[in-house]
Amino acid sequence: MSQKILIVDDEDHLRMLIEQTLEELEDEGVELLTATNGEEALQMIIDERPNLVFLDVMMPKMNGIEVCRRVKQELKFHDIFIIILTAKGQELDKQKGKEVDADIYMTKPFDPDELLEKAREVLHI
């Protein structure tokens, strides 16, 4: 069974940057999926059950904090590893991430190498 990573960001250039960063994982059999808003992300998480989600916070239709809350607390998908990626790096924002059981909270701009390293770590590659 192949592993899946879902990349969620409403900004095309950021979504593409993350995709390019993680592209080499496709050689290891990892499937990369993308979503452009919170609603789409939630539906994809339910349908695809990705192993790892890189989740933006500020998005249309449903923000990343709400997506994370629903996945972890309502749907109880504790096996899905969620990394929140956001420009909001204040302590209060990090606290919100913890409250909805996000696994890791990373701030933008991020280091692509660190992103790839985290993905490898989470997926045990």
Of the candidates 61, 51, 65, 72, the one whose C-alpha atom is nearest the C-alpha of residue 7 is: 51
Domain segments of the chain as ranges: 4-123
Task: Say if residues 4 and 33 touch (Cβ distance below 8 Å).
Answer: yes
- For residue 89, pLDDT over 80 is answered with no
**Banded pLDDT at 15 (limits 50, 70, 90):** very high
Q: Which residue bears the tokens 């992300």?
A: 41
Look up the pTM and report it. 0.95
For the chain, the straight-line distance linking the first and the last C-alpha, in angstroms and rounded, comes to: 14
**Phi, psi of 40, deg, nearest 5:** -60, -40
Instruction: Report, at the CATH architecture level, how domain 4-123 is classified.
Output: 3-Layer(aba) Sandwich (3.40)
pLDDT at 1 (0 to 100) = 67
Region 32-43 average pLDDT: 98
